[in-house]
């Protein structure tokens, strides 16, 4: 545990020292705010709960985008610069390396989510917002971000190119998104099977202010599988 926290603190400090992380957050926040203004605040007569639900829907996509860009450097940069050998020679396991780096990105992603709070705050000023809806929605965004960062960590473990890592991660996330669209055009029982793979099917209740254990379990399972896969990739490369 100490090794995980040490790696996480080192990586988080690297995010805070460099401008790249701040630039990613600033650009994604700008786009998130523009979409929120254009679509969620399109009518003064729209109930606050619907506006808040629209905010979480829009922000879920931008949370994924931010996660993919934040995670692309986690392992790819280490291989690109050759510092991965220093990690291999240090007294830490591959699982500790993966989890430590993942937690650092998750901590920085939390900064992005906190920075986005001004948007629901606007809704609170001009309307009535349920505090439970707000908590459920942000918990859902954190789960979506957690899943996307794990997938991004796996993508970053596959290559030494950060650009290629972002592309691979994006393709995997898009595949989990397309599953939701495919469920609309398939017949039962295939519909249920395909829909269960789509992240949005499990995020929708959080968007509407509901927290259900089965949907939390989905995000936790995808996160675990992606981090497990990244660990196995790292182990295979250690002995090459």
Q: Picking from 5-9, 27-31, 85-89, 108-112, which range would have the lowest pLDDT averaged per residue? A: 85-89
102 touches 146 (CB < 8 A): no
Per-residue confidence at 102, pLDDT binned at 50, 70, 90? very high
Residue of 230, 239, 220, 225 whose CA lies nearest to 75: 230
- Domain holding 108, by residue range, is 2-238
| Axis crossing angle, helix 19-35 with helix 48-71, rounded to the nearest 10 | 150
Residue 83: how many CA atoms within 13 Å on its side-chain side? 8
CB atoms within 10 A of CB 27: 14
What is the pLDDT at residue 215?
A: 92
What is the pLDDT at residue 64?
A: 92
pLDDT in tens, 157-198: 888 888 898 899 989 888 888 876 776 666 667 666 777 778
What is the pLDDT at residue 186?
A: 66
What is the pLDDT at residue 194?
A: 72
What is the pLDDT at residue 180?
A: 67
Q: Pick 225 or 10 by higher pLDDT.
A: 225
pLDDT in tens, 59-97: 999 999 989 988 888 888 878 777 777 777 777 888 888
Domain count, the chain: 1
What is the pLDDT at residue 51?
A: 82
């Amino acid at each position: 545990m100490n090794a995980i926290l040490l790696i996480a603190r080192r990586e988080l400090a690297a995010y805070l020292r460099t401008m790249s992380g701040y630039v990613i957050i600033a650009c994604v926040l700008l786009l998130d705010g523009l979409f929120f203004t254009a679509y969620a605040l399109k009518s003064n007569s729209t109930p606050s709960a619907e506006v808040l639900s629209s905010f979480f829907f829009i922000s879920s996509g931008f949370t994924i985008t931010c996660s993919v860009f934040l995670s692309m450097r986690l392992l790819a940069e280490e291989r690109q610069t050759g510092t991965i050998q220093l990690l291999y020679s240090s007294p830490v396991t591959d699982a500790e390396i993966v989890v430590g780096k993942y937690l650092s990105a998750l901590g920085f992603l939390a900064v992005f989510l906190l920075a986005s709070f001004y948007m629901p705050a606007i809704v609170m000023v001009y309307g009535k917002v349920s505090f439970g809806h707000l908590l459920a929605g942000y918990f859902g965004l954190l789960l979506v971000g957690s899943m996307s960062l794990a997938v991004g960590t796996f993508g970053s473990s596959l290559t030494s190119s950060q650009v290629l890592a972002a592309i691979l991660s994006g393709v995997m996330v898009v595949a989990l998104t397309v599953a939701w669209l495919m469920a609309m055009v398939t017949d039962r029982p295939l519909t249920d099977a395909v829909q269960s793979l789509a992240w949005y099917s499990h995020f929708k209740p959080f968007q509407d202010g509901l927290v259900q254990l089965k949907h939390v379990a989905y995000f936790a399972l995808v996160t675990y599988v992606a981090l497990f896969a990244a660990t196995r990739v790292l182990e295979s490369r250690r002995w090459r």
